[in-house]
Structures are given as C-alpha cells and as structure tokens.
Amino acid sequence: MVKNSSISIIPQEEKRGSVEFQVFNFTNKIERLTSHLKLHRRDYLSQRGLRKILGKRQRLLVYLSKKNRVRYRELIGQLGIREPKTG
C-alpha cells in the first residue's frame, strides 16, 4: 500500500505533522488524482481538487525552502519533484 512506503522514506522521529510527511501525502494524492483524470477527462471537481492540493503542496515547499534549504533539496530529490520557476 502507498502509506507503508511513506513511512519507510521518512525517518521515525518525523511522522505525521512534519512538512516532509505532508508533502509526501500530497504527492501521493496528486499521483492518484492524475491517474484518475487520465481516464475521466471531464471530471471538473477532481481537477479543482488537484489544483487545490498542488497549491497546498507548493506553499509547504516554499515554507520548507525558506526554513531549511538542505531538507528541501533532499525532499525534492526523494520525491522527484521539479523545482518551481522563480521570476
């Protein structure tokens, strides 16, 4: 299951409330919604939900990049997320 793999990537001391865990959960939701939208192109409510989750994940990543740049780089590397364009 997807949740079991999330626990193995994130260290034991940083679980539920950490920024890394939240970003990881949002990434899993984004992947599931993306695969759903490939089948159901006109599901506009799911498209809206996907955009909201993308925004939440982006805000968390910006917060993490300001707080701790090393942890931000590690997380992006682990999850395979592209760095956002600036400017």
Q: Is 26 a domain residue? A: yes
Q: Is 5 a domain residue? A: no
CA 41 to each of CA 28, 34, 67: distance values in angstroms, whole numbers, following the listed order: 19, 10, 38
Q: What is the largest CA-CA distance in the chain?
A: 41
Summarize pLDDT for 12-50 with one digit per residue, the tens.
Answer: 555 789 999 999 999 999 999 999 999 999 999 999 999
Q: Is 35 a domain residue? A: yes
Q: Is 7 a domain residue? A: no
Q: Is 86 a domain residue? A: no
| Domain count within the chain | 1
The residue range of the domain holding 53 is 16-79
- Cut 0.85: pTM above it: no
What does the alpha-carbon distance between residue 46 and residue 39 come to, in Å, rounded to a whole number?
12
Neighbours of 5 (CB within 10 A): 10
In CATH, what number is assigned to the domain containing residue 60?
A: 1.10.287.10
Quick one: pLDDT band at residue 80, thresholds 50, 70, 90? Answer: very high
